[in-house]
Amino acid sequence: DAKTTQPTSMDCAEGRAANLPCNHSTISGNEYVYWYRQIHSQGPQYIIHGLKNNETNEMASLIITEDRKSSTLILPHATLRDTAVYYCIVRSPYPLGGTASKLTFGTGTRLQVTL
Amino acid sequence: DSGVTQTPKHLITATGQRVTLRCSPRSGDLSVYWYQQSLDQGLQFLIQYYNGEERAKGNILERFSAQQFPDLHSELNLSSLELGDSALYFCASSESTRALNYGYTFGSGTRLTVV
């Protein structure tokens, strides 16, 4: 699975959009970009995933650059409850040679939403 | 409630002892994944089971073992416990090890403290 690079931490004012970047310059053609978040020692929570098109769901939007070497997770109106560590993960959903497509977590971005 | 149930929520035990952590996956999910999260290591993948069979192994110590039962619940056994085994242990489940899945569902974790 391709490696990802994320900023260690970010701040965002409540009500503003939070834009969390992720670099994945070695991503291969069949690898998807997944985003998870972990709120203070709770189990990680799936947010969104995509291959090359921009995606939106009730939680967030995912913008993937045309060359797919980077992406941005957008929380349109951040609230205090969005304070968490956000993980960007790149992986193939289809296992090769019997190897399961496990999720490999990096260090993530610690997002602090403030009043 | 994510649908993935982990018991117990907290466990305190002495060095050298053996404990068993239990995970019931979300209804219909065949894959179970175990992760360890300690303060200085982040989320580390331990092992995956699919429909009763081991499918992938990560950095799981020889003192640790796991299994998945016919009813699909899974147990993680930790033996000869050391202080360094103190961590949060998460279980996650997903629908299939092969299909494009929309993310893992994590349980709330078991906090193990070895004293």
* pLDDT tens-digit readout, B93-112: 987 655 555 678 999 999 99
Q: Cβ contacts (< 8 Å) between A41 and chain B: which residues?
A: 88, 109, 111
**CB–CB of A24/A69 below 8 Å?**
yes
What's the one-letter identity of residue A110?
R
pLDDT value for A98? 46
Asked whether the predicted pLDDT for residue B80 surpasses 80, the reply is yes
Residues 53-82 of A with CB under 8 A from B: none
Gap between the Cα atoms of A96 and A88, Å rounded:
21
What pLDDT, in 10s, does the model give residues B5-54?
999 999 999 999 999 999 999 998 888 999 999 986 789 999 999 889 99
Q: How confident is the model at residue A99 (pLDDT cuts 50, 70, 90)?
A: very low
**CB–CB of A4/A104 below 8 Å?**
no
pLDDT value for A34? 92
What pLDDT, in 10s, does the model give residues B51-76?
899 988 998 999 999 999 999 999 99
pLDDT value for B42? 83
Which tokens hold the place of A14? Answer: 């409540």
CA distances from A62 to A30, A34, A56, B115 (A): 17, 9, 6, 43
